[in-house]
Amino acid sequence: MRLFHVRDAGLGMNPDTLNEAVDFVHQISLRHNVAVQEFIHGSPELWATEGFMQDFVRRQVLEWGQGIDRGRDPCPPIYGSLRVIVSTDRPEEPDPAAKWHLSHWITLNSRHPITNVGRGGTLEQLRPEFIRPEIRPVLLNRLAEAARRAAQALADYERSAAEVYREETGRPVGCDLMGISYGQPRYLMLDFLVTPVFAEHVAAVRLRPCYNEDGTRRGSCFVQHQAGRETIVVPVDWRVMLIEPNVGVGLWDRVALREEVHELQRAAAGGRAPDWDRVGENARIVLRDLHRAGEKYLSKLRDEYHGLP
C-alpha cells in the first residue's frame, strides 16, 4: 500500500507524482489485483462540538496514555469514522424509509487512520448534542439517507446477481419458509466517512482552531483564504461515503457502556436515580426486529406443520 499526493497545493494535478502512482499500480498489477482508492481524511474536528473534542482528548489520555495538543495550527491529525446499524423486520417492504430501522449511531476517533477500538480508537455515541448546531440537521439527515441507501443497494444486488450465483454454483440463492430470499440482509453495520461540502464560490479551505473573545476555544473553524483575506465559511452540505458493511456485533457492548455513562451523568445532574431502561436502547431496536421476524417465522411454521406447540 502506498499513498500518493497527486494534487498539488493549488489543487491541480502533480504530473510527476501521478506518473509515479501509475507506474506503481502497473508494477503491482503484473502479479496481483489492484485497488485504487481516494484518501479521505475524516475527522471529528469537522463536525464535533468543543465539549466533545475535549472529552475525546481526556479519554485518549486515560485509555491509551496519549495526549493531543489541539491548540497547534495546523491541528495535529485526528481521524474519525461514523457507523450506523440498519436492521429490518420486513425485508419485503418496498419503501426503504419504512423498511430500515437505524440504531447504534457511533463515532470512532483516533490519532491513527485506523480508528478501531483496540488500535487506539475511542468509541462514543453519535448523539445530536455532540454535533455543532449549525451543521447538525444536515449531517444527521445525510447519514441516515446514506445508511438506508447503502443497505437497500446491498439488498437490490441479490436480485441482479442471483442468476450469476446460480450459474457459478449450480444452485439458486434459495429462500426461507416465508419466501424471503437468503440474499436479503436483515442486519448490517455500515462504516462511513464524512466530509463537508461548501458553496460553489468557496475556494480551498483549511481547518484551524477558533476562539471566543475571552480566549476560550469554541471549536474548529473552516477558513477560506482569498485575495489575502481570511473568511470563516460554513458547510452547506455533507458528503457521506461508505467504507464497508460488516457485522459489528462486537461494538454492541461498547455502545451499552456509553449509554450507561451518559445515563449516570443525566441522573447525577438531575438529582435522581438512574433510569436503567435508557441502557441498551440501541440493542433493543435490533432485537425487536429479530424478535418480530422470529414470530412471523414461527407462525408460518405452525401453519405449515399442524400440531406444533
pLDDT digits (tens, 9 = 90+) for 269-304: 999 999 999 999 999 999 999 999 999 999 988 888
What is the chain's mean pLDDT, rounded?
91
In this predicted model, what pLDDT tens digit does every residue of 18-60 receive, in sequence order?
A: 999 999 999 999 999 998 888 888 999 999 999 999 999 999 9
Residue 17 covered by a domain: no
Which pLDDT does position 62 carry in this prediction? 92
pLDDT value at residue 138: 96
Query: What does the pLDDT average to over 154-181?
Result: 92
Q: How far apart are CA 75 and CA 260, in angstroms?
A: 32
Angle, nearest 10°, between helix axes 281-304 and 252-270?
130
* Whole-number pLDDT of residue 308: 62
Is residue 299 a part of any domain in this protein? Answer: no
As a whole number, mean pLDDT of residues 155-171 equals 92
pLDDT in tens, 227-260: 778 888 999 999 999 988 888 888 999 999 999 9
In a domain, 6, yes or no: no
Whether 153 is covered by a domain: the verdict is yes
The strands making up 229-233's β-sheet, listed across from edge to edge, are 205-211, 217-226, 229-233
Question: Domain residues for 241?
Answer: 41-253
Residues of the chain above pLDDT 70, percent: 98
Q: Is residue 164 part of a domain?
A: yes
pLDDT digits (tens, 9 = 90+) for 120-160: 899 999 999 999 999 999 999 999 999 999 999 999 998 88
Kindly state whether residue 258 falls inside one of the protein's structural domains. Answer: no
The count of domains in the chain is 1
The reply to whether 237 falls in a domain is: yes
Rounded to an integer, what is the distance from CA 267 to the centroid of its chain?
29
